[in-house]
Each structure stands twice: as structure tokens, then as C-alpha cells.
Amino acid sequence: MNIDLKELSARESEQVEWKENGDDQDVAISITKTISAFANDISNLGGGYVVCGAKETKDEYGFPSLIYTGLSSSKLRAIEGKVLQHCREYIHPAVIPIVSEIQNPHDSSTRILVFTVMATKEVHTYRDKSNNGQASYIRMGKETREAKNGIFLQLMTKKNKAEYFDRKINTAASVTDIELLVFKELLQELGEDITTKPLENYLSDTNQISALIPPLFAKTELDNVLKPKNFTLLVFGKKESITRLFTEAYTIVSIYHGIDRSGPTAERYTVTGNIVWQARRITELLHSQSYTAFDKTSDRPNIEKYPLRAVQEAVVNAIVHRDYEIPEPNRITVFSDRIEINSAGSLPPGVDREKFLAGRANPKWRNQSFAWLFNKLQLAQAEGQGIPTIFKTMETEGYPRPVFEIEPENIICTIPAYPRHVKIREDRLL
């Protein structure tokens, strides 16, 4: 293959792994795990490259730089043989990368070894010889990590090995778990004419309330019994049914009166029920925290503590795009100078981290049915506009920039208060 090392050095870190050497057993295992991660390709980059004989460093200005250490002929052969053997024996299904040798641009007596890995349609696992365990690996930034819990389910779904959560049949539920009054009210909000179409028509495996939402029910394969989907239950389900079937599908709202959790008093609300009710109740609680501060000397005398549109979008995003298969509730914490909204689940596969943090990421849904519903109910912006709306609202109205922290199993959105409100509190403490 015609590989340009300079071009590789400019690629996303998720797509290239640099190794100074590779003949050590631990390094060979690390390379093999990374090869399986590139084949799994959770970020839709098409695969990746492992380059042996080069190491990453920084130049005098602190920017990334490469040193081509190179490999001797014997080392190159040893690394190639060991890694390919591991790929055949310890990755299932086996992955055979394309191997290339490139002349070291800084030393013609040595070579650079490149393993090129193409993405596949399979979920690849690595079998650990030392403990007979196995795991699937993915790339997250510069790291190769084990895909656990919700991230593993994302990988399975991406490879069409599992149904998306919102579209799955819930075999533990039945029609009796649906709250018919809520069902009727929300259908009317969605513009459905239930006066001419019996409500029972929707409780079927054929009728749809939108082209983007599959039928609300499906029949099981073995006994042909009608069962609701997860979407149906979380939107139209009875409160006690949701609590029973989705034990962590609720939100904890905590309100502290200082800048941390050390204060002697606090308020705590556990918001349960269907996700539309949760979004509306949480937004109501947070709106009560966004009072107005007056300053007659300013050209903007009346400023709310938080921009309500941004707060609502952040709450809806946390509910709609959370990973409901991670056994953790959402947590919203209000301090005197900020609101922190902690949503279970990291970025969906294929979402660029840097673009997301800048508010420019292309839309990618974990639960498309939920996203459509909240947009239709006018609780959220159009598809893919939630995060940009938060950034734009904060900037346009003169608030500090929101901060997003992306962790392997959660995302935290921090919305700072308007500086005037922070100053008022500081003055009170003097």
C-alpha cells in the first residue's frame, strides 16, 4: 500500500497508534488489541493504522511531533510474525491486517512497519491467554479501551448485532403497563385525531404514529404475544411499571445553596415517571432557580440567572440521548453559580469529540424515536440542534460559555450563572 507517514501523522488520534517498538510480548499484545479495536471501528472512521518504529513526542512549542526510531530487519520480522500470530489465535473472528514496510526517512538502514486494519461488519473479541477471559476493544481518542456496558451495546447495535434500545421489545411488559390517559393526552398533543381512530388501533404491531417511529408493539417470535417496545413504555407507561421495568430511568435533582456540597442544607427531588413528565417537571424545578437580578446602571438591567432556553435544551438532551442500559440515573445538581447536568452514557459512535465540544457535531441519535417525539412536542429543537442551541443561546445573551465533560459512561453539561448573580452572592458573603 502507498502509505504516507506525514499524512498519517495529521490524522485523528483515534485512527493511528504509534509504537516505538513491538517485539516485547506486552507491546505485541497491546498492538493486537488495538488492531481488534480498529476492526470494530465504533467511530465510523473505516479502520486504522498501527505504526511500529516511530514514537510521539512534542516539539519546542508543545505541539505533537514524531521521531522515526526505525526497526532493524530482524526486529521487523519478529514483530510482524508475533502480531500476525496473535491476530489469528486471539482475535475472534480473526483479523488479518495488511502489512507494509516503509523506509525510515531519517535512517535508510532501518524500516518502519505499518499494520493497516480495515473496519469489518463483525464484533471482534480478544481472548486473553493469561486468564482465558475475552473482551471487545474500541478506540477512544488515543487510547484502546475495553468496550463495557453501554459502550459494548453501542458497538453491538452499530454492527447490527442488537436492536436499538428504543425499538426493542420488552418481554417483561404487557398492554396493561400502558397508562391509557397519558397515552390519549400525548397522542392529542402530537396532532393525532383519536375521535375518528379508536385508541386500540395504536396498541398494535402494525400502526405507526410517525414514519420515524416503528409500531408501538410487536409480537414475540415463540408465542406470538403482543408486547410493548421500550419507547412505548418510557413514553406512555404507568409510573409504577416504568420503575419496575427500568429501575434507573429516573432523575435526581439536588439543589445546594453554595458553590459545593459542603453546605448544611440542600434540597433533593427524585423525579420518576414517563420521560415527557420528567423533562417538564425538571425544567419547572430549574426555572425556579433562574430568578432575575436587577442593575439600574447597566444597559441590560434585568438579567435572569440562567438562559431558560439553554437549560431546557440541556435537560431534554440528557433525557433523550442518555443510555438507558447503563444502571445509573441522570443527576442534575444546582449550585449557587452553576447547574451541572449529568447524563448516563457517553457520545454515540460516530460523533466527533472535538466538534461536539465546539457545538458543531453532526447529529447522531442513540434513541431516534425519543428525539422525534420531543421535537414534535416542541420540547426540543429540530434534529441535531440541541447542543448548538445551548452554545448559541449562551453566547447571544452574554452568558459564560457552557462546559461539556465527556467520560466513558457519562456526559456532564455545566451551565454557568450570569456573572451579575455570582457577584451578588460574593457581595453578600463579604
Q: Is residue 246 part of a domain?
A: no
Lowest-confidence segment of 45-59, 92-106, 222-236, 352-366 by average pLDDT: 352-366
Q: Above pLDDT 70, what percent of the chain?
A: 91
Same domain, 289 and 179: no
Same domain, 422 and 371: yes
Residue 129, amino acid: K
pLDDT in tens, 239-268: 999 999 999 999 999 999 889 998 888 999
* C-alpha dihedral sign at 123, 128, 131, 132: positive
Which range of residues forms the domain containing residue 48? 5-147
Lowest-confidence segment of 40-54, 271-285, 290-304 by average pLDDT: 290-304
Residues listed for the chain: 430
Contact by Cβ (8 Å): 102, 9 = no
Collect all residues with Cβ–Cβ distance below 8 Å to 315 and sequence separation of at least 6: 279, 282, 283, 286, 332, 341
Same domain, 425 and 304: yes
**Strand, helix or coil for residue 41:** coil
Task: Please name the residue ranges forming H helices in 253-385.
Answer: 275-287, 308-320, 353-357, 368-376
DSSP structural state of residue 195: T
Same domain, 207 and 278: no
| CATH code of residue 309 | 3.30.565.60
Q: Is residue 64 part of a domain?
A: yes
Residue 315, amino acid: V
Among 240, 265, 281, the domain boundary falls at 240
Lowest-confidence segment of 282-286, 297-301, 403-407 by average pLDDT: 297-301
Query: Is the confidence at residue 87, as pLDDT, over 90?
Result: yes
Query: Is the confidence at residue 429, as pLDDT, over 60?
Result: no
Residue 82, amino acid: K
Which of 101-110, 242-251, 391-400 has the highest mean predicted lDDT (pLDDT)? 242-251
Same domain, 365 and 232: no
Lowest-confidence segment of 39-48, 111-120, 290-299 by average pLDDT: 290-299
pLDDT in tens, 198-237: 788 888 898 888 766 788 999 988 788 999 999 999 999 9
Same domain, 67 and 211: no
DSSP structural state of residue 239: H
Among 208, 240, 272, the domain boundary falls at 240
Same domain, 296 and 176: no
Q: Tell me whether residue 264 is exposed, middle or buried, using C-beta atoms within 10 angstroms of its C-beta: 0 to 12, 13 to 18, 19 or more.
A: exposed
Q: Can you tell me the mean pLDDT for 308-321?
A: 92
| CATH code of residue 86 | 3.30.950.30
Helix (H) or strand (E) holding 138: strand 137-140
Q: Is residue 206 part of a domain?
A: yes
Same domain, 226 and 131: no
Lowest-confidence segment of 85-89, 153-157, 342-346, 390-394 by average pLDDT: 153-157
Query: Is the confidence at residue 52, as pLDDT, over 70?
Result: yes
* Number of folded domains that form the chain: 3
pLDDT confidence of 427, banded at 50, 70, 90? low
pLDDT confidence of 428, banded at 50, 70, 90? low
pLDDT in tens, 158-173: 787 777 888 899 999 9
Q: Is residue 286 part of a domain?
A: yes
User: Average model confidence (pLDDT) for the chain?
Assistant: 86
Same domain, 328 and 375: yes
pTM value is: 0.68
pLDDT confidence of 270, banded at 50, 70, 90? very high
- Compute φ and ψ for 8, nearest 5 degrees: -65, -35
